[in-house]
A and B are shown apart, each in its own frame.
Chain A
């Protein structure tokens, strides 16, 4: 079974631009979550999606948004990029929405904002 895939793997953008990151979950998984990893803040929850609906959101500004499609694939968007948005963005998928589920993580997208 293929794992979670994320594209692109690396991105370089400049301040003020916007970016879209993509995540394809494991086949059969219906829940997708996004996390931001930085050296200073560690791993922080961004949002989670299930059945094309955002079910939970972390403490991030409105510049961070996302969506989930009917095939469970998910995208996240960051508008008006700031230097502090430079991070590794990790996507995770699980069978459904429950705290006991194992989350399967993708390799991440490393975003650098110049």
Chain B
């Protein structure tokens, strides 16, 4: 079964602190894709990153970094030197073919609400 778990419901940090958002996934497929999306108060989901199951290389983009570990089925997201503008809900998501051929269906985690205080 496909499942994404974000155990942290809410995180509150003070500006400039580093924060890591956890994501654990389950899938039977060997080929799958993992995503992180940000949802600011406006409601629109904003794409942050995509990772495929064959590429375990960590990625850094500015203050954002992602750690993908297949051995633990985790795809964690770290924000370095957090800023107030990072306050949002962050979603981890999984996409695979689950035997149904091509599909763009995303399985989302419950989301982590990040509050960055000045």
Contacts and interface: CB of A to CB of B under 8 A. Distances in A.
A binds B: yes
Contacts of A42: 108-111
Contacts, number: 76
Contact of B104 (A58, A97, A107, A110): A97
Nearest to A43: B108
B75 interface: no
B103 A108 contact: no
Interface residues of A, number: 29
A109 B106 CA distance: 19
Given A56-B100, A108-B44, A99 B32 contact: yes
Contacts of B42: 107
B44 A106 contact: yes
17 contacts: A31-B104, A42-B111, A44-B108, A55-B102, A58-B105, A88-B43, A92-B106, A98-B103, A99-B97, A99-B102, A100-B50, A100-B52, A100-B95, A102-B47, A103-B35, A105-B37, A106-B44
A55 B105 CA distance: 10
Given A35-B108, A105-B46, 19 more contacts: A31-B104, A33-B104, A43-B106, A43-B111, A56-B100, A56-B105, A90-B43, A90-B45, A92-B45, A92-B106, A99-B31, A99-B32, A99-B33, A99-B97, A99-B104, A103-B47, A106-B44, A108-B43, A110-B43
Interface residues of B, number: 28
Contacts of B105: 33, 45, 48, 56, 58, 99
Contacts of B50: 100, 102
Interface of A: 31, 33, 35, 42-45, 48, 55-56, 58, 88, 90, 92, 94, 96-108, 110
